[in-house]
Amino acid sequence: MSAAETVVPQLLVRRVLAEFAGGVLLVFLGISAMIAVTWVAEPLADWPGGRYLLSLLLGLAFGYAVTLVVYSPLGRISGQLNPSFTLVHWMAGWQSARTTAFYLVAQLVGGALGGAALLVWRARGAEFRYGATVPMPQVSLWIPAVAELVSTMLIALAIIAIARGRVTGSWAFHLVPILYGVLAPVAAPLSGLSTNPARTLGPALVADQYEHLWFYFVVPPLGAVLAVLVSPSLWPRNRQRILPGGDAPNDDARIPRTEAPRASGGLGDGRTRADRTRAWFRGPD
């Protein structure tokens, strides 16, 4: 098998490993940031309106931790890091079922290991239930479902806006954390504000919270799908692929011989070998 024929599997393995490592970091750093904020700012809960302020700080802490992972070299390799977004890629035909299956397994296993790493917090982590998300028990399940659905949709719309260049500059870095902070005082008490099945899986395993695990494997993906359906009416000029990441339409294909990257140097059109390979693997924008 020539180098040209193996480049796609090699890139797929690289992306799957990035999804796995990104899943570990997303869960561990995101929940750890929340545990640390609770540890330091817990006295705020006794102030008038302090619980809302504490929820806002927790949302900001988680949002910035997630954003740092997304902006890290790992996030730049694949950029999905959420089973909800990965399922949307598959449903829209932006990547094959095989790639989707690899990504989902990597994300969920990474999330589980990230949850296991939270055990380093010991009593402090147990007091916080390791960040486990559960629907509010005193209300109908529909209310937490709506809260989680709308929250995931809004987060996904923010990511779409950033990916399509509708939000640029420093706002592109701060938008998602600010949105988590704004949503947390309302959505977190109702649904836990998961927005990511892998983020829920890890803490659920270490906190022994399995009863509503199915809820977070159903509602956040529906919220992401809803965001994709709504986004064309908000930004009519969006191109076919409106979420970051994804593959060529058929990741089982091989790069034609005429498109194979040379061993070194440019490709005659001003692009490097890495640029050409990356552009082919991701498909048209």
pLDDT band at 46 (very low <50, low <70, confident <90, very high): confident
Q: Please, which residues bridge with residue 123 across strands?
A: none
pLDDT of 282: 42
CA 11 to chain centre: 20
Least Cα distance to 196 among 15, 8, 5, 23 occurs for 23
Q: What is the pTM of this model?
A: 0.81
What is the arithmetic mean of pLDDT over 31-39? 95
pLDDT band at 236 (very low <50, low <70, confident <90, very high): confident
Average pLDDT, the chain: 83
pLDDT of 125: 94
pLDDT of 283: 41
pLDDT band at 91 (very low <50, low <70, confident <90, very high): confident
pLDDT of 263: 36
pLDDT of 165: 86
What is the arithmetic mean of pLDDT over 144-158? 96
Q: Provide CB contacts within 8 A for 184, sequence distance 6+.
A: 55, 56, 58, 59, 60, 193
Amino acid at 246: G
Pick the residue with more confidence: 67 or 264? 67
Check pLDDT > 70 for residue 182: yes
Check pLDDT > 90 for residue 106: yes
CA 156 to chain centre: 9
CATH of domain 3-234: 1.20.1080.10
pLDDT band at 231 (very low <50, low <70, confident <90, very high): confident
pLDDT band at 273 (very low <50, low <70, confident <90, very high): very low
Helix (H) or strand (E) holding 254: none
Check pLDDT > 90 for residue 203: yes
Dist. CA 76–CA 283, nearest whole Å: 16
What is the arithmetic mean of pLDDT over 262-270? 40
pLDDT of 142: 97
Tokens of 49: 């309106």
